[in-house]
Every structure is written in structure tokens, then in C-alpha cells.
Structure 1
Amino acid sequence: MNVNNIKQNLNYIKTVIENGSLKENRVIINVMIAETIHGLKNTAFLFKVKYTSEGYKMHYSSYEKRAKKYKSRLLVDMEELERKLNKKPVNEKTCKKLIQKMLDTDLYTSYTQAVINQWQAKTKHYKTEAISI
């Protein structure tokens, strides 16, 4: 499952909550969230990282750890959303807030990308490489 599908699923769930048709679409939403959580575990996020030479890539490990942290946070938030939607008195405001937070942060990738963008090469000669987490 790619990132755009995850965002589409979240937008659909948010729209259903806002329309007030959550009861009628409960089964569809449960299936969508289950598929999204399963697909998210196998989804790889790509980040563009700069480096100056082949031997100087020590900063990659910290970016990978940070990306894994936020991917885990995304998984936890998706599971929490699933639990909140399966409760009998659904707290729609909390669900919308949780979905909006995931969408605003671009599925929490913006936090990692902001740290990556802070890295400055000591020389003007650097190359860019994409790493997959």
C-alpha cells in the first residue's frame, strides 16, 4: 500500500465522520482501517538525504532511527483510531483530530524530513541519495 492510498483512506474516514454516516459505513471503515494498518507495516517511506562522500554516511543511522520512530507512532495512532471507532459511543471529535494530525504531518514524515533538511554539508560538493525506511 502506498502513502497516497493511506491518505485517501484517512480522508474518506474523516468525510464519513463529518457527514454523520458513521453508523451506516462502520463495516467498510473497519475493513479500510484493518487494510491500512496491514499495508502500513509493509510500506516504505522515502527520504532524500545529502552526503559528501561515500565514506561519510554516519548520519544515515540517526535518520533511519527517527523515521522508524515516527512510522511506529503512525501505526499506534492508526490502531488507536480503530479502537476509538469501535467504541459504542464514538467520540467523533477525537477521531477527526487524530486523523487531521496524521494528514497535517504528512503521515509523520514531515518531522523526519525537517531533521534531515537541517543537515548542512561542510563543502558545496554533495550528492543526494534516497533512503527507504
Structure 2
Amino acid sequence: METKASENDDLIRAAVLIRERAYAPYSRFMVGAALRCNDGSIYSGCNVENAAYPEGTCAEASAIAAMVAAGKRHITEIVVCGGGDAPCTPCGGCRQKLREFGSADLRMRMVGAQGDVKLVRTLSELLPDSFGPDHLDF
């Protein structure tokens, strides 16, 4: 799902709205993610669980896939929306996926189901000393 950004709250709204579309019949833990590209476009995704548990897809990975499918390659900001009282931070695999398309200073906001900001971090704070495409000698 893509929308054009006009203000910072658009990213939070996109993450909150897409979270409602999550498919989480097993964990019942719905997650939405919305990311902004360097041209201002927003791509969102939700978690999609599967009866074969390791085959599910995280919200962040879904948003990245939508971005890549649209031909974009650079994330400048992301919002992750989860439920509950604790902030829903990206899993380790998604942190590495975000590193592929975002810089160490990528701004990451974790919000609650109503869009309340629970935590703000940079990618380098959540994935210190990361390995990324800039480490490869091509």
C-alpha cells in the first residue's frame, strides 16, 4: 500500500491503519509498519502469520517488499505499530532488512495501537556495529 506523505503524522496514521489488516490468528499480536522513502512516498505492511509458524512475514518485511516492488531503494524513516503497553521494536531479522535499505541514523518510531509514540530510536541504537551493503567490496 502506498500513499504520499504531507506531514509527519501521515506515517503514524499509515502504520496504525495497516495494523488493522494484519493476519494474526495464532499469536493475536497485530503489527503494522509504515516507512518513508527519500522521495516522500510511504509504503506500509502488516504481519501475516502462517500455520507453519516460521513461514510468517513481519510487518516491516511486508512494507519493505512493497517499497522494493515499487522500485524504491532508500528508507528515511519508519514507524512500527504494535499493541500492548510495551513498544514493539523490530525483530533482529527485520533490523537487518532495514539496514539493507536505511542508514545507521534511520529514525525509528514505535507507537501503540492508537498512534501514541512509545519509543524513538535510530537503527544504530537498535543494531549497533551493523553490517550493511556499504561493507561489501563491489
**Fold in common (TM above 0.5):** no
Query: Which protein has greater RCO, CA pairs closer than 8 Å, 6+ apart?
Result: 1
The structure that has the greater radius of gyration is 1
Structure that is richer in helix per residue: 1
TM-score, scaled to structure 1: 0.26
TM-score, scaled to structure 2: 0.25
Structure that is richer in strand per residue: 2
